[in-house]
Amino acid sequence: MCTSCTNDASSGSARRITVIAHRGDSSNAPENTLAAFRSALAAKADYVELDARPSADGTLYCLHDETLDRTTDAVSLLERKKIRIREVRDADLARLDAGAWFKPQFAGERLPTLAVALDLIQAESRTLLEHKDGPADAYVRLLRDKRLIGKLIVQSFDWSFLADLHRLEPRQPLAALGDKTFDEQRWARLARTGAKLVAWKHTDLTADLVAELRRRGYGVFAWTADEPHEWQRLAGFGIDGIITNRPAALITWLAARGR
């Protein structure tokens, strides 16, 4: 596990909480763009979270949705709807505007490749890289080419992908994304992923679940909490990190409480 993911504090009140900017500083800039990542870095987020999917050419790009419709001008530019990034070549992706949908001042923001995003983020912070689509070997190749194995965290809701990545590159820290509750079958599946962190829906976390995860040797992140009353609840559980759309506000809130 990355040494900065957790610490050795013995109680929730003493534990330092890692601040993770969800899709960059997505409250103030268009998600999964270099503008959002720069804003998160300026806010001094400990980690910058992003999503990754492959294009028709196999290049990994930063994009949350399966389609390009919501966060780019692909519908007007490519003249159709429900355009899956997997169906679009790099040359066409390079033409898309990924900023104007958010605010006019971000017009001209491009859809960044994962490689470019990693260069930007890793120079000043660390990346929480969420796999949305694509094979494990593509991610391993990129991380090895960038010499980033062990220097960031890869997370996914696809626990089979995590197990594949762990088999290919056991040195790479992983986080298993999820929600709801555990049964013994799910605990067994989690163990097979090779993950040492669990990133769980914040409303589904309880003090007992966090304690049990810790007992089993896992660090715990919570997604995606944006309000002070949510942060207070999670801090009381002794959480390791909070994924938020409001990283600057969370940093200020933590600092006011000596965190």
pLDDT tens readout for residues 147-190 = 999 999 999 999 999 999 999 999 999 999 999 999 999 999 99
Instruction: Work out the burial of residue 1: count CB atoms within 10 Å of its CB; fewer than 13 is exposed, 13-18 middle, 19 or more buried.
Output: middle
- Per-residue pLDDT, 8: 34
The reply to whether 212 falls in a domain is: yes
**204 or 15: which leads in pLDDT:** 204
- Per-residue pLDDT, 59: 98
CATH number of the domain that residue 152 is part of: 3.20.20.190
The reply to whether 107 falls in a domain is: no
For 159, the token pair is 């626990």
The reply to whether 178 falls in a domain is: yes
> For the residues 33-45, what does the mean pLDDT come to?
98
Look at residue 16 and tell me whether its pLDDT is greater than 80: yes
The reply to whether 170 falls in a domain is: yes
Q: How far apart are CA 56 and CA 63, in angstroms?
A: 14
Q: How many domains does one find in the chain?
A: 1
Closest by CA to 199, choosing from 166, 240, 168, is 240
Rounded to two decimals, what is the model's pTM? 0.95
The C-alpha torsion from 58 through 178 and 129 to 144, rounded to 10°, is -70
The reply to whether 140 falls in a domain is: yes
- Per-residue pLDDT, 15: 73
Q: Per mean pLDDT, which range of 4-13, 31-40, 96-105, 124-133 is the poorest?
A: 4-13
> Helix (H, G, I), strand (E, B), or coil: what is residue 236?
helix
The reply to whether 2 falls in a domain is: no
- Per-residue pLDDT, 11: 39
pLDDT (tens digit per residue) in 195-231: 999 999 999 999 999 999 999 999 999 999 999 999 9
The reply to whether 175 falls in a domain is: yes
Contact (CB, 8 A) for 42 and 247: no
The whole domain housing 250 covers: 18-56+115-256
Closest by CA to 176, choosing from 150, 195, 153, 160, is 195
- Average of per-residue pLDDT values in the chain: 95
> For the residues 78-92, what does the mean pLDDT come to?
97
- Per-residue pLDDT, 17: 98
DSSP letter (8 states) at residue 204? G
Closest by CA to 45, choosing from 258, 254, 257, is 254
The reply to whether 63 falls in a domain is: no
Look at residue 5 and tell me whether its pLDDT is greater than 70: no
Look at residue 13 and tell me whether its pLDDT is greater than 70: no
- Per-residue pLDDT, 259: 77
